Amino acid sequence: MPVLALVGNKGGAGKTTLCVNLASALSVHAPTVVLDADPQRSALQWRASTDRAGAVAVLDANHRLEAQIRDARLHYEYLVIDCPPSVHALQTTQVLAVCDIALIPVQPSPLDIWATVYIEAKVDEARRTNPGLRAMLVINQLEPRTKLSQLTRQALAELGLPVAATAIRRRVAYRSSVLDGRSVMDLGSRGSAAAAEIGKLIQEVLGA
């Protein structure tokens, strides 16, 4: 069972939005759950805003986080964890010690890129006890026509972590769907472009 962690070192990178959309897409194919380890509990709020049948389940992380992860491995095919927006948080350290893949959303902004440097060091530290840990930067909220967005991939290439070929664009569909507890997969044609991005990212990350 693959355990995916959404990791960040700065708020506002779109970590939770990407988390719930990845989990929603994965849940179409196999039992999937989100573990909300972010103190802001945004993923839990997203799930509480809908009573839609079939919506992906979200669990509240507690002080027995590593035990929760072990238990989820027994009951679900995919576990997607929303970590705090800090690599120094205890929850982030615990998750990186046991997860399979860490995805790091990065917005096209100098502050986001600079914050990513600390994540690279934390991943290296986690690999001392979790040598199989894979980590990948994901360009999020991309606006292709802006110069800053065009330069972001070049800037990230200078870091030691690989950058996903699939970038997630800045789309209204992501924001509007999250507001009422849905994912872009639930929007039909209005969310088709966003859903295709999510599917491509999953294929790139999991090879599925």
* pLDDT at residue number 112: 83
Residue 4 pairs in a beta bridge with: 80, 101
Instruction: Kindly state the percentage of the chain with pLDDT values over 70.
Output: 100
CA separation, residue 76 to residues 30, 144, 173, 190, 199 (Å):
8, 36, 28, 30, 19
pLDDT digits (tens, 9 = 90+) for 66-116: 999 999 999 999 999 999 999 899 999 999 999 999 999 998 888 888 888
Q: Give the residue among 131, 35, 19, 108 at the shortest CA–CA distance from 76.
A: 35
CA separation, residue 8 to residues 15, 56, 78, 117, 207 (Å):
7, 22, 20, 11, 23
Q: Give the Cα separation of 72 and 1 in Å (integer).
A: 9
pLDDT digits (tens, 9 = 90+) for 26-55: 999 999 999 999 999 999 999 999 877 778
* pLDDT at residue number 74: 92
- Residue 151 pLDDT greater than 90, yes or no: no
Cβ-based neighbours of 179, under 8 Å, separated by 6 or more: 49
CA 145 to chain centre: 24
* pLDDT at residue number 145: 79
> Measured in Å, how far apart are the chain's first and last C-alpha atoms?
13
Cβ-based neighbours of 152, under 8 Å, separated by 6 or more: 106, 108, 113, 139, 142
- Residue 139 pLDDT greater than 80, yes or no: yes
* pLDDT at residue number 50: 84
Cβ-based neighbours of 201, under 8 Å, separated by 6 or more: 22, 138, 164, 166, 168
What does the mean pLDDT of the chain come to? 91
More confident residue, 142 or 19: 19
- Residue 64 pLDDT greater than 80, yes or no: yes
* pLDDT at residue number 106: 92
* pLDDT at residue number 157: 82
Phi, psi of 133 (to 5 degrees): -60, 125
pLDDT digits (tens, 9 = 90+) for 189-204: 999 999 999 999 999 9
* pLDDT at residue number 208: 54
- Residue 158 pLDDT greater than 90, yes or no: no
Domains of the chain (ranges, CATH numbers)? 3-206 (3.40.50.300)
Confidence of residue 153 (pLDDT cuts 50, 70, 90): confident
